[in-house]
């Protein structure tokens, strides 16, 4: 369920920027796969905190960048 489509699109754009920032990611994942690692789940029309993906080993800095992008988009 999408409570705020504008915030979701903003978050996707920020994820694409993060993907471009770390050039080595393109050898591991496509941009669509990278965005799909971070689904936004809602409970009572509020986005739930992101969980670090278990399927792909992200380094700490990338995950921190994703968390900052999440807060900026939905904060």
Alpha helices for the chain (secondary structure H): 5-21, 31-36, 60-74
Which of 15, 31, 30, 27 has its CA nearest to residue 65? 15
Weakly modelled stretches of the chain, pLDDT under 50: 1
pLDDT at 2 (0 to 100): 62
- Which domain does 10 fall in, by range? 5-74
CB 66 within 8 A of CB 12: no
Number of domains in the chain: 1
Encode pLDDT of 35-55 as tens digits.
Answer: 999 999 999 889 999 999 888
């Amino acid at each position: 369920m999408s409570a705020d489509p504008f915030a979701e699109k903003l978050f996707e754009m920020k994820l694409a920027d993060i993907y471009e920032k770390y050039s080595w990611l393109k050898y591991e994942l496509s941009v669509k796969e990278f965005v799909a690692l971070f689904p936004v789940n809602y409970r009572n029309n509020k986005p739930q905190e992101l969980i670090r993906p278990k399927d792909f080993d992200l380094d700490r800095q990338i995950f921190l960048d994703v968390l900052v992008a999440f807060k900026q988009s939905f904060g």
